[in-house]
Amino acid sequence: MMNEHRPRKRFGQNFLHHPQVIQQIIAAIAPREEDFIVEIGPGQGALTQPLLAQAKRLVAIEFDRDLVQYLNTQNWGELTIYQADVLKFDFAELNQPVLRIVGNLPYNISTPLLFHVLQYAEMVQDMVFMLQKEVVDRIVAKPNCADYGRLSVMLQYHCHAEKLFDVSPAAFNPPPKVDSSIVHLIPHTEPPVKVNNKALFEKLVAQAFTQRRKTLRNNLKPLLSAEQIEQIGINPQARAETLSLEKFAALSNLLVDEQA
Ligand code: SAM
């Protein structure tokens, strides 16, 4: 254990210290010897060390130089550390056909981080992440739920998403002010719905949810007319939170290239 490191708030540092919770997370990841695992934010190695006890090698991405220095002095196995901002990290450069990505993520950047890793979904076998409980609830939410939004639609377009279990703040040092949950994300091998242009789909979904209380007709005004929405059997007076993934795909397929 590293004693002198003071957890840094700006890096979202809340270190896991509860052995049972750590064990539960490792069991959820179920590392196999041959896996190519990438850990985001290894911190002081709470997950890194037990992961390396089961997987032959591990790649870790850590922003905090002091922690990188500390991790480099450990002899836990074949550990390669990139001192980098994960939001700028190019996972394709690892040159591996199949990655498993895991981590107790820095909560302050969780949404951009999720969108960043989704870009690499094609080379990812699965992801096991600890996130703020509220964020996991949004990821797995179904239509007509208060939690259903842009994050649910975009994550579910790319992955099968399953919430595994909750983790209390007491498992961390310092304890975060929020509850946490573990989510398992498995990228679809075939897209669940037909989307002609991913950039337009992303744009449409973001636009549809700009103001949750407003109707599709209002939110989508810059992109589609009420007549166009109606033409594919969707009520323009409905709210985005009522639409399935299929409906979002159908709406986005009405858009044309210059709208990207
Ligand atoms: N895995 C450790 C654990 O469970 O105890 C630490 C988890 S802590 C919640 C998040 C970790 O992500 C910290 O080590 C932090 O320094 C690192 N981190 C924060 N922002 C980062 C970024 N942009 N890129 C890479 N790592 C980052």
pLDDT tens-digit series, residues 91-119: 999 999 999 999 999 999 999 999 999 99
Distance 126 CA to ligand 1 centre (A): 19
Structural domain boundaries enclosing 108: 9-187
pLDDT tens-digit series, residues 209-233: 999 999 999 999 999 999 999 999 9
> Of the residues 129, 157, 187, which one is the last residue of a structural domain?
187
CA-closest residue to ligand 1 atom 8:
13
Quick check: is 45 in a domain? yes
In order, the DSSP letters of 208-242 are HTSSTTS-HHHHTTTT--HHHHHHTT--TTS-GGG
105 and 230 together in one domain: no
Pocket test residue of 52, 62, 71, 87 for ligand 1, highest count of atoms within 8 A of CB: 62
CA-closest residue to ligand 1 atom 6:
43
Is the separation of the CB atoms in 167 and 180 below 8 Å? yes
- The residue-averaged pLDDT of 196-212 equals 96
CB-ligand 1 contact for 180 (6 Å cutoff): no
CATH number at residue 215: 1.10.8.100
Quick check: is 2 in a domain? no
First to last CA, the chain: 49
Q: How many CA atoms lie within 13 A of 75 on its CB side?
A: 0
pTM > 0.85: yes or no: yes
pLDDT at 152 over 70: yes
The mean pLDDT value of the chain amounts to 96
- The Cα–Cα gap between 224 and 22 comes to 48
Closest-CA residue to 115 (of 159, 167, 163, 62) = 159
Quick check: is 123 in a domain? yes
Quick check: is 156 in a domain? yes
Quick check: is 4 in a domain? no
pLDDT of residue 192: 96
Distance 16 CA to ligand 1 centre (A): 11
pLDDT of residue 256: 83
